[in-house]
Structure 1
Amino acid sequence: MVDWLTWTQVIVGCGAGLLCLVSGVLGRVPGDVAIGSLALVELLLVVQVVVTVWRWIVEGGPVGSGVEFAGYLLTALIIPPAAVFWGLIERTRWSTIVLSVAAFTIAVMVWRMNQIWTLPSPWL
């Protein structure tokens, strides 16, 4: 993982989450901006996958558990499309809040992936 990319993802994820949360609280259904913000989060995740796989091959894997890291990475890739799918099917303000929860979840997961990549596990 690359620090600047990690922090970019965390900031974009929190920004998208805040945008969708405010939009949902105001009673708006998911629109282009909310769905586009989740698309940006997903795009950054795809970039992270490419960078991480390259670094894993060239420089070695994470300091922590590789299985745990891969689990986080694959799960994070699934969350934004699932939330957008929900938002497109159920067009209510609550689905906009679901988009918000998904964006905040990705921010936390990326931060945790960075910890797994760089910090040794105390249980090993």
Structure 2
Amino acid sequence: MIDWFTTVQVVVACAAGILCVVLGLIGRVPGDLSMGAVALVELLLLVQLVIAIIAPAVGNSPSGSLAEFYIYLISAIILPLAGGFWALIERNRWSTVILGGVCLAIAVMVYRMGQIWFVQGA
């Protein structure tokens, strides 16, 4: 895991979450802007997956449990897919708010993944 990339992921997920919550609360249904923000969060998670696979092979091993890290990562990858699918099926303002909640949950999960990788003792 790369420290600055983790920070970028948390900032982008928080920004996307706040954007989606605000859009939902003003009455916007899921559209290009909200779905695009969630897609960006998902793209960053997929890049993080590639980094997490390569990092231990080049000497950047986690200080915590690798299994716990991957459980967080796979769960975080599934969340935007499930939330986006649900938001497109049930298109109303609350679907956009839920997308924001998904992004904010991912920000917390990525922050925790950073703790597992860099801080937590095994």
Q: TM-score, normalised by structure 1?
A: 0.94
Q: Which runs of 5+ in 1 are unaligned?
A: none
CA separation in 2, counterparts of 1:14 and 1:119?
22
Identity percentage of aligned residues: 52
CA separation in 1, counterparts of 2:120 and 2:88?
41
1:46 is aligned to: 46
CA separation in 2, counterparts of 1:64 and 1:88?
37
CA separation in 1, counterparts of 2:52 and 2:66?
12
1:104 is aligned to: 104
2:76 is aligned to: 76
Q: Which runs of 5+ in 2 are unaligned?
A: none
CA separation in 2, counterparts of 1:56 and 1:24?
40
1:33 is aligned to: 33
How many residues were matched structurally?
122
Look up the SS of the partner of 1:29 in the other structure. Answer: coil
1:45 is aligned with what amino acid? L
| 1:11-35 residue CA offsets vs partner (Å, 9 max, x unmatched) | 1000000100000100110010000
CA separation in 2, counterparts of 1:66 and 1:47?
17
1:17 is aligned to: 17
Look up the SS of the partner of 1:87 in the other structure. Answer: helix
- 1:60: how far off? 5.0
- 1:89: how far off? 0.2
- How do residues 88-103 of structure 1 correspond to structure 2 at under 5 angstroms? 88-103=88-103
- 1:45: how far off? 0.5
Look up the SS of the partner of 2:28 in the other structure. Answer: coil
